[in-house]
Amino acid sequence: MTKDPTARDSRGRAGLAPLVLIIALFFLWGVANNLNDVLIPHLKKAFFLTDLQSGLVQSAFYLGYFFLALPAGLLMRRYGYKAAVIVGLVLFGAGALLFWPAAELRRYELFLSALFVIASGLAFLETSANPLITVLGDPPRAEQRLNLAQAFNPLGAITAVVVGRQFILSGVEPTKAEFAAMTPSQLSAFQAAEAQSTQVPYLIIAAVVLAWALLVAFTRFPVQASRPGADAHEDKVDKPILGLFSRPRFLFGVVAQFFYVGAQVGVWSYMIRYGQDQVPGMGEKTAAAYLSWSLVGFMAGRFAGTALMSRVDPSRLMALFAAANVALTLVAVAVGGHTGLLALAATSFFMSIMFPTIFASSLKGLGPLTKIGSSFLVMSIIGGAVLTAAMGALSDASSIRTAILVPCACFAVVGLFAITARRREVSAHDAVLVGGH
């Protein structure tokens, strides 16, 4: 029977729309995550916060991931990936809309609440999109495929910092003496202007995200994106969860992801603060430009890392990248100044492959446990809440340079995971050869 090329092309075009919609999610949550790096110095100035208090931006954000990741996994088991994506986008849009009343009322806790809702939506998006990419194709290429999809995430990150630098950061940085000379009405006007600069950017984000939810809802997806898991109608979820605790590779992956996200969020959250502290006369907009270029390096690292993985084992490459970042963060601690800032910015290139490689490596061989396993890996993102706050506390107690020791230690943990994951892969390969397969 002759195959109809027209029908085959039609199927290819039909499958392209869902792929574009899902890849775009990596861009969208990159925007949401990295706007926080601009919000931290911005809200610190607007509300006169300490480093620890400003770090609560990330704490509130990543608590949303922690509390909603497991419900997202359970929803996926019952209704499939597509339903989780739609719920995530609706929550994301709702949280962005909450920035308007938060700015009008000028309440820091309302900003934190809005960020929690946004992150709750992102928990659904990341829990669904990451494993969906890993199962669509050959298992041996899961890391490479996820790294390619994740390469669109730094595009969102760069966009966020550029938009934040242009439309949120005012560049108005009064000294302590100038603040002291302000009348109550002048001080109130300053704070109102700083708070309200967040409204329009987040309103636009809300409109885009909610429109994307409608597109996803009305687009036909492949069957594996919409069908529930084989165990979807079981009432108990303790079996799959307990099953994960017998997987040491997976458990170490959760720990490594906790520390990696803590390192990434900590470095990016305090890079502007580090630049202002270590380079005399550097303003917030100039420091934000260093963060922007750092994120360009992150994107370049994603593409370079994805290409290298066709020749170098992903775990071995991640071990080398982790070692490079331990060295760079030590330079930021020991040397400081402009050299330290450049070293800190350079860590982004080597961070690039870590999240997707840890994610895909941890899920290897989980089979029907993949969806619940994905939830725990997303829950581990709470490292961004815990370790960023720890950096803020250490900075308040000592200095911002000393606080960089926290991500330094985190990169060491990632390197250890990479080494042990590589050893397990080699052992498993040798066992297959001995078995004659």
DSSP-assigned states of every residue in 289-303: HHHHHHHHHHHHHHH
What are the chain's domains?
13-227 (1.20.1250.20), 237-436 (1.20.1250.20)
Structure tokens at 252: 């170490």
Structure tokens at 389: 């706050």
What's the gap between Cα 224 and its chain centre?
Answer: 25
Using an 8 Å Cβ cutoff, are 278 and 395 in contact? no
Q: For residues 378 and 258, what is the distance between their CA atoms, to the nearest angstrom?
A: 9
| pLDDT by 10-residue block (mean), the chain, 437 residues | 45 60 88 91 90 90 88 85 92 98 95 96 88 64 69 86 89 82 90 93 97 92 64 50 76 95 95 94 91 92 88 93 98 97 97 91 80 82 92 95 98 96 57 36
Helix-helix angle 337-351:284-308, to 10 degrees: 40
Alpha helices, DSSP H, located in 80-152: 81-97, 99-105, 108-135, 142-150
Hey, how many other C-beta atoms are within 10 angstroms of the C-beta on 118?
31
Predicted pLDDT at 139 = 66
pLDDT digits (tens, 9 = 90+) for 177-233: 888 888 889 989 998 999 999 999 999 999 999 999 999 899 887 666 666 654 444
- Name the DSSP class of 228: P
